A = this chain, B = another copy of it.
Amino acid sequence: MRQVAILGAGMIPFGRRDEDSLVDMLSYASLAAIDDAGVGDRPIDAVYVGNMAAGLFNHQSSVASALVDRINLLPAAADSVENGPASGGSALKNGILAVASGYYDLVLVAAGEKMRDVIGPVATDVVATMTHPLAEYIYGATLPSMAAMFARLYMEKYGVTPKHLAQVAIKNQENGLLNPYAHIHMKITLEGILTSPHSVVNNPIVADPLRLYDCCPVSDGAAACLLCPADMVANVAADADKPRVVVAGFGQATDTHTLQERQDPTDLKAVTLAAQQAFERAKLTPQDIDVAELHDAFTILEIAESEHAGFFDKGEGAKALEEGQTRIGGKLPINPSGGLKARGHPVGATGVAQVVELVWQLRGDAGERQVKGAEKGFSINFGGFGNNVVAFVLRRES
């Protein structure tokens, strides 16, 4: 297996982008990644698009074919990859395998979602199409409702409090203020969202115990990476001295489709397994990681994933958060980008957006939110309700 380098990374500001189509957004992010890679007009062999639901959100299919034509990459091979909210992670994994196999050299992975073509309740319904059709969907289960049940159990079992959840939101929105690509630029306080009498109005309950600020927004956005074999970087990149990031390891694991069938619904087995696979391949441990992007679609998930990925013991994630260990400047900064909470969560885009943030962090290009001296990064992209999880370990070379 050839080692794979992330030669270029690109992203567009997430948010409400009424003026852009899905293919527009994918094009902007792709061109940014290609420019960043400095490969000039060198032909790109294959393109992977991470996207969850262009059919239902935008009444469009074959988006990868549309993208290669739009940005003049013909006759590159082009496929879309779908794995719910982990579609970006899955697209990237398959792009990596395509380069690793030796069949393709330059591979573009673009991931995006245009969710705001539909109204909010419809977006929630489209996202819910990933639940079990007969055991969950027909009973009205949505992702917020499943996350709420998970949160309630997790809080009871591990002593996580509403204050802990609020602290995730506050930290990530604080980080988002430093990220020009973030959807939400708004400072929030514990008083405003939890302890003042107005907090029930400012921060209404969505699905008890989760409130508005425990949930990620509905966003449009796209992100992209250009991959090549690590030993080819010097040949294809204009600026071969630029710090480069390689994929040290990756993993992917599945769990039961329904939450109810898990022996212990608080145990996110697929997160544990995907992370273990990624660390094993990378020959690294959680202790080696300098910065992590976790899938905080709901605040509880950042805490739970930080434990299941091996950064903290079970029940210790909330404590680490409370102590500021996961803030920028802390021992293990989590979601310096603002995470899904503040950067936004255009579902299919997220897995690649996380990796783009890590590439920037490891190259020292993250501006005001830079984690000083970060050399190794980690991400979790959480598909379904934890039933299909993709993890990456990245490392700066040179």
Contacts and interface: CB of A to CB of B under 8 A. Distances in A.
B1 A76 contact: no
Interface string A49-76: 0001101100111101110111001111
Contacts of A79: 81-83, 90, 93-94
Interface stretch (A34-42, A183-191, A249-257): A249-257
Contacts of A126: 55, 61
A98 interface: yes
Contact of A61 (B62, B129, B256): B129
Contact of A59 (B69, B129, B388): B129
A252 to B, nearest CB: 4
A144 interface: no
A339 interface: no
Interface in A91-130: 93-94, 97-98, 100-103, 126, 129-130
Contacts of A93: 77, 79
A15 interface: no
A79 B129 CA distance: 16
A165 to B, nearest CB: 26
A361 interface: no
A82 B52 CA distance: 10
Contacts of A84: 61-62, 65
A390 B46 CA distance: 13
A332 to B, nearest CB: 26
A208 B198 CA distance: 67
Nearest to A84: B62
Interface string A314-342: 00000000000000000000000000000
Contacts of A65: 83-84, 130, 254, 257, 383-384, 387-388
Nearest to A80: B82
Those 6 A-B pairs whose CB atoms lie nearest each other, nearest first? A55-B55, A77-B252, A101-B101, A62-B130, A69-B257, A62-B84
8 contacts: A1-B101, A61-B130, A65-B257, A69-B255, A74-B254, A77-B254, A80-B83, A100-B102
Given A61-B130, A74-B255, A81-B82, 20 more contacts: A52-B61, A60-B133, A62-B82, A62-B129, A62-B130, A62-B387, A62-B388, A64-B82, A65-B130, A65-B254, A69-B255, A70-B257, A75-B255, A77-B388, A79-B82, A94-B94, A94-B98, A97-B98, A97-B103, A100-B101
Interface of A: 1, 21, 46, 52-53, 55-56, 59-62, 64-66, 68-70, 73-84, 90, 93-94, 97-98, 100-103, 126, 129-130, 132-133, 252-257, 269-270, 273, 383-384, 387-388
